[in-house]
């Protein structure tokens, strides 16, 4: 797959000025691009805001690779400069537990009360907890 990036105002050498591209070339270019885009994987986007310490799931998008996913996520989800960090993860690499199995899945933690933060006094100087 050959991906070529154009920025606003760029003119491909073979286009010669936009509308001068013969119609048969436009169709072949568009068809090729559509086929390739159809096969792009789905990416999940997580963004850390300026106020927060954690990344939050913002949505999903299709991209050819991780670099393109980060650039597209920046353009789509941080238009007002509200993010300081972007994570993208290919959707096929995310695995989750089944919500229907939550009771049996989390049950072993119920008998370990020392894991609950109610027994600990936190100093006032501690932030982000």
Question: CA Rg, the chain, in Å?
Answer: 23
Domains: count for the chain: 1
Decide if 43 is inside a domain. Answer: yes
Decide if 47 is inside a domain. Answer: yes
| Tens-digit pLDDT string for the chain (129 aa) | 556 655 555 555 554 444 444 444 444 444 444 446 678 999 999 999 888 889 999 999 999 999 999 999 999 999 887 889 999 999 999 999 898 988 888 777 667 777 667 767 778 888 776
Decide if 116 is inside a domain. Answer: no
Residue with tokens 């936190």: 122
- pTM of the predicted model as reported, rounded to 2 decimal places: 0.56
- CATH value at residue 49: 3.10.20.520
Q: Are 69 and 59 in contact (CB under 8 A)?
A: no
Decide if 2 is inside a domain. Answer: no
Decide if 64 is inside a domain. Answer: yes
Whole-angstrom distance, CA of residue 29 vs CA of residue 4: 12
* DSSP 3-state of 72: helix
- Domain containing 88 equals 23-93
């Amino acid at each position: 797959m050959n991906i070529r990036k154009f920025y606003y105002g760029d003119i491909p050498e073979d286009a010669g000025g936009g509308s001068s591209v013969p119609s048969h070339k436009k169709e072949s270019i568009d068809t090729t691009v559509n086929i390739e885009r159809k096969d792009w994987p789905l990416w999940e986007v997580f963004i850390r805001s300026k106020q927060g310490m954690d990344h939050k799931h913002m949505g999903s998008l299709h991209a050819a690779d991780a670099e393109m996913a980060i650039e597209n996520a920046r353009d789509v989800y941080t238009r007002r400069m509200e993010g300081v960090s972007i994570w993208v993860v290919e959707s096929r690499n995310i695995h989750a537990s089944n919500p229907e199995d939550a009771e049996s899945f989390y049950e072993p933690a119920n008998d370990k009360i020392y894991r609950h933060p109610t027994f600990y006094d936190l100093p006032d100087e501690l932030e982000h907890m």
